[in-house]
Amino acid sequence: MSETVTGYIDHIIFRNEENGYTVMVVKNSENEEELTCVGSFPAVSQGTTIQASGIYTHHPVYGKQFQISSFVEKIPEDTYAMERYLGSGAIKGIGAALAARIVRRFGEDTIRIVEEEPERLAEVKGISEKKAREIAAQVTEKTEMRKAMIFLQKYGISLNLGAKIYQKYKDSLYTVLQENPYRLAEDISGVGFKIADEIAARIGIHADSDYRIRSGMLYTLLQASGEGHTYLPKDQLFARCAKLLGVDESYMEKHLMDMLLDRKLVMQEKKGEKIIYPSQYYYLELNTARMLCELNICCPEDENIVEKRIASIEKETGTVLDEMQKKAVTEAAGHGLFILTGGPGTGKTTTINAIIRFFEGEGAELRLAAPTGRAAKRMTEATGYEAQTIHRLLELNGMPEDDRSTGAVHFERNAQNPLEADVIIIDEMSMVDIHLMHSLLLAITAGTRLILVGDENQLPSVGPGNVLRDIIHSGCFPVIELTKIFRQASESDIVVNAHKINRGEPVEINNKSRDFFFLKRYDADMIIRVVIALIQDKLPRYVNARPFEIQVLTPMRKGLLGVERLNQMLQRYLNPQDGSKKEKTLGDRLFRQGDKVMQIKNDYQMEWEVRGRYGIPVEKGIGVFNGDTGILREINEFAETAEVEFEDGRFATYSFKQLEELELAYAITIHKSQGSEYPAVILPVLSGPQMLLNRNLLYTAVTRARKCVTVVGSEETFAEMIRNEKQQKRYSALDERIRELNESIKKGEE
């Protein structure tokens, strides 16, 4: 139940200037009793008298506090309160002595003089006319902000959000809110369409308002980008938008034309169908296509010399390359852009190593990278050549761009400061989205060779776009697909079955295999018991790994065998509660010291360090990314922080508020496993949405295992997944943009 307190701000303990979050001590004016108050308080100052509403809370370290939900500043009512307010530092340039002189001069009329006739302050000794004008400007700013906060609170806008709105618009906020509150969704971080729509409804904006429909269209396309799309077919956009706004689709056409004219949207045609992009995604695809075409330079090498050098590499390494692998080395040597693709066991790593040795023989400077830390580590181990994440290759500096809608971030390596390399090889390209591809290409100059490696049958990137598949399907660049399964790989049923799944062929589940097992169970709780037994007892010895290295992969988040339920059960058995382990509850999540955790969003600001002997930092950097996995090493209640050690040896410290970026990772979705490899994978399959139980997902899950796959569940569901070719349609058209540019280049050459 909300309560009210009145008093003056004695002193401020802590203040975050970005969001206005403040911890301060408020004193009761009558009995001087102190109370610690917390909340977001824009432009409040020491000495200000406030009347605040909120609730009392108890902090485990700092004790009793008052959590303020709303407040109003009260005008000081007596000369003592006026002197205290003016002398508190609330107004720059007025200290305690000067405040006393002002109050002596004007008495109980002081506050009115300061607010309405500040030029009269020059009557006080020590205040010049210039200083009086400066004081007037400060007072006006504070008065305007106070009025703005009162105005915004009428519409249910929180103090924190109100502060952001005022800082963005100043005096024009009244016009913005009355005419087009949907601008908030475009201009202010943390405000989505739904918040803007709630504000608009309170203000009285009509459901069929022009601004509402336009904002709804942009929001619909932004939501679609979160599903991986760079555009939507026009009919789908209209249908989704009409459902969101509760208006008829007939309203959309006029507004679409207006937004096309304003260049907020771009309309193209694909296979006779009108498609609509948010303009930033159209230009991301167009510029990515342009830069790819610019890199696609033919660099012919003497075939005899190339053959001799390949033979020399085979002799030095003791490997024998098949015809397609030799052709891949030749194509890489003869082109500025080259794509190598193929499934597991087809010799991609051997081919990459041969390409590396070929260019090393030319004295070329090479750089290797992959989208995730785990994939980069695997690349390093496979090639013996240092690989790093694409973000580290591009030298992420952690500052998001002003236009948050682009999803882009600042990299030190860009068009003005390109990468210094002769050859750049990127592995696990199926994981690279359109944003990251665009940033990578900006940092590569024409003349640098770019080699892209990946398996197009893996799941597409989490972010928008279908980059690898579109580049291959454009038909405009040299591509070598490796299909032959090599003898050593053909002895692994993981590899053989992965290829069968990809071709839609049935898989034998007779358990005569050494690395592919199927345990038939038809009850969710029984499946979970089997999974726990496998992790705790059977598999660690079989694959020579720790229980935490064995990964449970599941198609879905919800349900009896979804990530959320599995993690709760697995945490209970794999990291049980005991008196020595600290815990922290955040909403419906319980974190315990020793838990296996995963970062679930890109945090470009998060600082990390690698530690040497005695815990001394030997390397520091920024950026923790979606899919990074580690162990929760420490929970510090006093500092309200938690420390995570990631698999690649980086340590990052999270505030308790930032723990929402983490979730338990004993079980993860197959989508989140992209680019990773585990000693053993356990795959529970029973039932679920047909869209999630498909071939593409099963293929990705099986290819994550290095030594052993164990499927636990229904053989009929497993067989249905192999038969089900349907996968969620992803709308992207990088291939179209590439073909268009390629055609115009050819015409220009003619």
Binding site, annotated residues for ATP:
345-349
User: In angstroms, how far apart are the furthest CA atoms of the chain?
Assistant: 99
Would you say 730 and 279 are in contact if contact means Cβ atoms under 8 Å apart? Answer: no
What is the residue type of 355? I
Could you list the residues known to form a binding site, using ranges: 345-349
Structure token pair of residue 268? 């193209």
The DSSP letter of residue 118 is G
Would you say 230 and 731 are in contact if contact means Cβ atoms under 8 Å apart? Answer: yes
d(CA 315, CA 320): 8
From residue 612, alpha-carbon distances to 79, 84, 381, 608, 621 in Å are 61, 53, 21, 13, 15
Q: Name the 3-class secondary structure at 703.
A: coil
Structure token pair of residue 347? 């010799």
Upper half-sphere CA count for residue 115 (Cβ side, 13 Å): 11
From residue 631, alpha-carbon distances to 386, 389, 652 in Å are 25, 20, 11
Nearest to 516 by CA among 726, 698, 724: 698
Annotate 526-561 with b (16+ C-beta within 10 A) or e (fewer). Answer: ebbebbbebbeebbbebbebebbbbbbbbbbbebbb
Query: Phi and psi of 606, rounded to 5°?
Result: -65, 125
d(CA 94, CA 105): 15
Task: Say if strands 479-482 and 629-636 run parallel, antiparallel, or are unpaired.
Answer: unpaired
Q: By CB neighbour count within 10 A (0-12 exposed, 13-18 middle, 19+ buried), where does 571 fall? A: buried
Would you say 76 and 85 are in contact if contact means Cβ atoms under 8 Å apart? Answer: yes
d(CA 353, CA 350): 5
Angle between helices 79-86 and 96-106 in degrees, nearest 10 = 140
Upper half-sphere CA count for residue 723 (Cβ side, 13 Å): 7
DSSP H/E element including 472: helix 467-473
Strand order through the sheet with 265-270: 232-233, 273-278, 265-270
Q: Which residues contact 722 (CB under 8 A, 6 or more apart)?
A: 500, 501, 504, 505, 506, 507, 695, 698
Structure token pair of residue 510? 């007779």
CA 163 to chain CA mean position, Å: 25
